[in-house]
Amino acid sequence: MKHVKFTTLLLILLCLPTAAGGATEMQKELKIHDVFRQYWKKKNVTMVELSREMLDTYSLAHYRSITIKGYPEALTLVRRCLAADQEGAKKIKEVTDGGEVVSAYYQLPGETADVNRFILFKVGAHGEITLVYIEGAIDGDDLITILFTKQVYK
């Protein structure tokens, strides 16, 4: 038995290549969709979409993440998109440095009462940008529990 933090699992998943194209199930009205659409094919960018089996394991409908390295101009686009998408969102956590958001966790209203949507964002120590979109029946407290507690994998 091995104890692994889900965040470690997410980092591993971020390193896996994806064959996903530009089409997405993600809510198109979100501005962060522009980031995924513009950067997913570029060099030094990793995008991950979880399989149906993995999504079902965590009661999720959609999971998409992108990690961008070597494109400092992407940070301006990401912050602009986050500013638009956080309208009406619940700020669960937001960290700023010098007046600029460097880490954020937002819960957005879902289309129905049983669907929650989340945007997670972080700028790493070396300027890499990670943006994650999660949608599903999971609530904010459960997502925090999954992300920050040890899981047992057999």
Q: What is the pLDDT of residues 85-124, one digit of tens each?
A: 988 888 888 999 999 999 999 999 887 888 899 999 999 9
CB 39 within 8 A of CB 81: no
Q: How many CB atoms lie within 10 A of CB 24?
A: 17
| pLDDT(60) > 50 | yes
Pairing between β-strand 116-123 and β-strand 90-97 as defined by DSSP bridges: unpaired
Say what the pLDDT of residue 151 is. Answer: 54
Q: How many CB atoms lie within 10 A of CB 123?
A: 19
* 3.40.1000, 3.60.21, 2.60.120, 2.20.110: CATH of 2-153: 3.40.1000
Q: What is the pLDDT of residues 18-51, one digit of tens each?
A: 333 333 444 568 999 999 999 999 999 999 998 8
Confidence of residue 141 (pLDDT cuts 50, 70, 90): confident
Say what the pLDDT of residue 105 is. Answer: 92
Domain boundaries, the chain: 2-153
